[in-house]
A and B are shown apart, each in its own frame.
Chain A
């Protein structure tokens, strides 16, 4: 691994004013060190990307810089003046703000009420709504949001909420804005809009620290890139010296083998699952499709296009009217998760933490919850068999755990995703639908999950993958269906499966807001 040109070492804060400088920052929780000796230099008017696999220490570093945690060791200076933050409020007063990855807004309050939450403007005893709405409109315009200050946040689409969250961070003048995975929940066109806003901020002289898993964004946006790995700083490079592949290699610490397994090619087997005129959300979303053994069927489209809703309808997880569902030769009239599983179909939710795993429970209860009747044929729990299942899942899916009694919530995102995969595969299905198979997990685990998908398809099972990550959709699928506004609008096969075609089909006729409403 070459460590050439980490330019913080060669050109410290000389060319441009360094608005924030951290020297030798370390953080330990008890005996466990999560970050050691990070030296970071942030200049006004730059986008500085921080990349690294999950667990590399990105979040910890951001917490230290924004006062959400205090460093065990090391110093920070702002424009040359030493600073130490006891909490996030002190950091914000100094001009550093962290925009969290999760949307932390009160859905029942208006945009303006959210922006001023806890620091309402008042005239005498009365809150000054007019003034707050006026200033909200200003800052919304600054981030390019079309939301109105008086709109309830709960009625806004996800992307707009993300912008509101950024707007809240910008309400007061900021020197450093830290964006933690701001695009994790956004679809492609929304990402583009957000990147534009980040550039505007940069041009206004704000220093932006940008954390993302999406290397294409980093390549498109960043001026400099700092790489963390295993809690250590690998170095800082000018972005123009790195391409995506090099960034990934620096993050992983080894040369990348091919991320996507070679495709299996189009198969002509008889469908294992056919769905005709499945309708959910009172007809706003409906579709027909089929899946064949030995293929990966990709379902693309923007967030809110109705993909997840359609599949949840298929699984009986939301009200649906079905034309006809045939699964493994059986006609399913009243679908629910149990009948579908018995007939050979399982669904892996996109919402790992909210709908996939019991975060406060152990490996065993999580792994066996869905296939409880298969692992335990009688009424009693078979603890021994459960432990055996856990051990073989840990081995087969390479789940990294410290002990067998670890809780699901203590696993990293990638290991949680592997546990979830092991959980739905425990019933030995012949077709599996995976919704966002690698959302928010690092590149090493991504590659593994792609290989698991490849393995099971090569073993003659069918796999349907819903993905908003275009490289993933394109890299995995043998056939792609694109949904827009609650309808399938295109089917792509072979050479036609590329990012341009998917984007064109997903967003072309400009009615994407239609799709959003049905989200």
Chain B
């Protein structure tokens, strides 16, 4: 093509609204609107902040899961991994509290980040070096982490030392300029995730590997390293969630984080990330996490549907989201 023709090339093919990308945000808006109509208490600032704060865990872990899923992987171990990291962190802080006082908290947080990243590294290496399906590997490690936390808590609960409680509590319950800390942390993690995914070379390789690993391999991309790194990022995000989680209940139990993996995967998928990899939407994941929490909240506030059916509605949402995706992308 000639210079003039190239200069005249449109940057994009007209002003097509990409409905598939906007869908999670539209869905979120619709659900919020419904909530407002059903119960006037829903729109109360207090209630909204609570909902957003509660969605922080799924959103933070979801950012990591977006990376893993974008590479074509899947991590089922995240729920039990979080419980395990919470347990390790509490044990570390309790052991350090007599010597370090409240400094045990940041040290414990660093321990959590290291342990989480290592857990992710382990998942990643088994998948890539061992050449085993991520579904199987993380099914295995899910069981291992769950058993370890049950063993660590001796089937009961593992509580944080009394001396640390009041110092640590604000990380979940406190706020900065009216915004709760977990919400700020979620924003920071999502911004970081979006930067890595959309602005850095690593992010480009993540989507390339998920889109077609053969093309990536033939282009000299170290597919194994990219996949492993995604699991490490997942582990790191799990640890961040764990750090926010500890002050909420102050304890780890054998049921901590149970079935969170399903919620996280749901959030990622309704956020628009393809489960087979290759397309990743960090902000869609955050919207997905909000959708799940808002639905639960609306159902609790409304008298029409029993809150015992929350999981059923969330389950229906993922199916509807996929059907909508099929419908919009078929054309």
Contact = CB atoms under 8 A, between A and B. Distances in A.
B215 A356 contact: yes
Nearest to A358: B211
B219 A370 contact: yes
B221 interface: yes
Contacts of A359: 212
A406 interface: yes
B1 interface: yes
Interface stretch (A89-97, A265-273, A371-379): A371-379
A486 B60 CA distance: 53
B201 A365 contact: no
Given A361-B211, A381-B204, A337 B217 contact: yes
Contact of A401 (B9, B202, B222): B9
B130 interface: no
A370 B220 contact: yes
Contact of A399 (B1, B10, B12, B219): B1
Given A402-B10, A403-B9, 14 more contacts: A355-B212, A355-B215, A356-B215, A356-B218, A357-B215, A358-B278, A369-B215, A370-B220, A372-B201, A372-B205, A381-B201, A381-B203, A402-B9, A423-B219
A406 B13 contact: yes
A334 B279 CA distance: 33
A380 interface: yes
Interface in B79-98: none
Interface string B1-44: 11100100111110000000000000000000000000000000
Contacts of B203: 381
Nearest to B14: A403
Nearest to A342: B220
B218 A317 contact: yes
A358 B215 contact: yes
A423 B200 CA distance: 19
B199 interface: yes
A368 B216 CA distance: 11
B154 interface: no
Task: List 4 A-B pairs, minimum CB-CB distance, nearest first.
Answer: A337-B220, A370-B219, A405-B12, A338-B220
26 contacts: A349-B218, A351-B214, A355-B212, A355-B214, A355-B215, A355-B217, A356-B215, A356-B218, A358-B278, A359-B212, A361-B278, A369-B208, A369-B221, A372-B204, A379-B202, A381-B200, A391-B9, A395-B3, A395-B6, A400-B1, A402-B9, A402-B10, A402-B13, A403-B12, A404-B11, A405-B11
Interface residues of A, number: 39
Nearest to A348: B218
A365 B218 contact: no
Interface in A295-351: 317, 336-338, 341, 347, 349, 351
Nearest to B221: A369
B13 A337 contact: no
Contacts of A399: 1
A109 interface: no
Interface of A: 317, 336-338, 341, 347, 349, 351, 354-361, 365, 368-370, 372-373, 376, 379-381, 391, 394-395, 398-406, 423
Given A373-B201, A380-B199, A403 B10 contact: yes
A141 to B, nearest CB: 38
B207 A361 contact: yes
Contacts of B12: 403-405
A315 to B, nearest CB: 8
A358 B208 contact: yes
B221 A379 contact: no
Contact of B212 (A336, A347, A358): A358
Contact of B201 (A358, A360, A380, A391): A380
Contacts of B2: 395
Nearest to B278: A360
B14 to A, nearest CB: 8
A342 to B, nearest CB: 9
B25 to A, nearest CB: 21
B214 A354 contact: yes
